[in-house]
Amino acid sequence: MGFQQGLSGLNGAAKSLDVIGNNVANASTVGFKQSQAQFADMYANSMNRSGNSPVGIGVSVPAVAQQFTQGNISSSNNPLDIAINGDGFFQLSASLTNKSPMYGRNGQFQLDKSGYIVNPSMNGAYLMGWAAGAQGGDPVPLQIDTSSIPATPTTTISTKVNLDSRLSVPTTTPFNAADPTSYNSSTGVDLYDSLGNPYSMQTYYVKAAPTGTPPTTTWTVYAKIDNTTLNNGATPAVPVALGTMTFDSTGTMTQINGAAISPTNNTLTISTAQLATVAKAGGVFAAPINISYSGSTQTGSAFVNLAQVQNGMPPGSLSSFSVDKDGSIIGSYSNQQTKNLGTVVLVNFANPNGLQPLGNNLYQASSAAGSPLVGKPTTGTFGTLQARAKEDSNVDLTAELVNMIVAQRVYQANSQTIKVQDTVLQTLVSLR
């Protein structure tokens, strides 16, 4: 027995205790991955190189390997807390100028004063991803664009109505929006000009007596925008119809403005000249508004507006944003619109254990880890993202405490081998 074996055992046990202590210390560190000391026995070569000495000369710690197993995912109130469920790492950069990639699993992000997504617990490292509209390429620091969505003027309206065939022809002529006896039914829709100013448009439907065999029925459509009925501009003003819709005996619309429905003849139109008479100060309608009545019917049931969609919208300011499981950052605006603000990407390695730890839950790529593979979450081997959540440390405290007891006993046992060796040497030198 020699001092070499016992001393190496003490060093190995001390190293193991260091690793266990580090695991325990980081039991509450978000995204932390526990480490494990790996041991190997040692043998000395014989002088004539014919083989190894049959008696070992101790133990070594050739590696301390991190265990990249999934940690538990717990909920959070921060909308920018992001947990990775599965394989992959966030890509980060130290600054906007130093974009050397670093990697980590700690997803406790915040916005800085410039709108960049940063991680304060990683020395303010910037989260990397694809900018809004990009579907690939090199990741860049993600910045939330807080600018408003501009207004979109209305140019098309899609309306589907059912007109009641049982109604009688109005008793009052000509049409007057203020006189309900001059029309049969009406419905409304909101419009928007170039500045996002809202307008209330009401459309009115006036039935004509059926004609022909089999009978067809024509309905004339009028419109009022805000408090102005579309008219001929004369004094006194005379209401001008947008056009007519004709239905056959089965209730199917067959004609628009007296001509058969076709791809080039399927809408009623409000001209820019008519729109100019109702436009509010500063706002314009740069194009006519086309109203499609495709799918409208005339049946023996009550009038109903079955569907109505228009393509204009007011300006909108960013009210909130969220991160989807596929990494898409979706902004929600005050005008009920949504917009993609960027994409969080993930990076994976053939051998994550080959990554070089930098501290602050950050790693650096190395040749042992392999080339970084960048991709969108939920695709390929990449995991999914979970917003308002964080990945807890994967340290099992119970197991670490047990490992600590074992390492302590190993340390004590190795100290005993040194003590016994010391006693043997004392006995030898005391021989007479």
SS (HEC) of 176-224: CCCCHHHCCEEEEEEEECCCCCEEEEEEEEEECCCECCCCEEEEEEEEE
The DSSP string of 21-86 is HHHHHTTTSTT---EEEEEEEE-PBPTTSSSB-SS--EEEEEEEEE--PPPPEEE-S-TTBEEEES
Helices (H) and strands (E) in the chain, counts: 3, 31
Residue 267: HSE in the Cβ half-sphere, 13 Å Cα cutoff: 15
pLDDT band for position 236 (cuts 50, 70, 90) = confident
State the average pLDDT for the chain.
91
With 80 as the cut, is the pLDDT of residue 43 above it?
A: no
- Higher pLDDT, residue 50 or 256: 256
Q: What is the pLDDT of residues 174-209, one digit of tens each?
A: 999 999 999 999 999 999 999 999 999 999 999 999
Q: Quick one: tokens of 63?
A: 């590696």
Q: What is the pLDDT of residues 80-102, one digit of tens each?
A: 999 999 999 999 999 998 888 99
Beta carbons within 10 angstroms of residue 431's beta carbon:
5
CA dihedral 64, 70, 76, 81 (to 10 degrees): 70
Task: Please name the helix (run of DSSP H) or strand (run of DSSP E) that holds residue 175, with its range, or none.
Answer: none
**What pLDDT sits at residue 52?**
56
Q: Which two tokens stand for residue 151?
A: 């207004």
pLDDT of residue 423: 85
Tell me the CATH architecture of domain 156-310: Sandwich (2.60)
How confident is the model at residue 99, as a pLDDT?
A: 83
Residue 196 φ/ψ region, left for φ over 0, alpha for ψ in the -120 to 50 degree band, beta for the rest = left
Does the predicted model carry a pTM greater than 0.75?
A: yes
pLDDT at 342 over 80: yes
Confidence (pLDDT) at 65: 86
Percent of the chain with pLDDT over 70: 97
- Confidence class of residue 104 from pLDDT cuts 50, 70 and 90? very high
The 10s digit of each residue's pLDDT in 105-153 is 999 999 999 999 999 988 899 999 999 989 888 999 999 999 999 999 9
pLDDT, average across residues 12-41: 91
Tell me the domain boundaries of the chain.
3-66+396-429, 73-144+343-391, 156-310
Question: Angle between the 397-429 and 3-25 helix axes, to the nearest 10 degrees?
Answer: 160
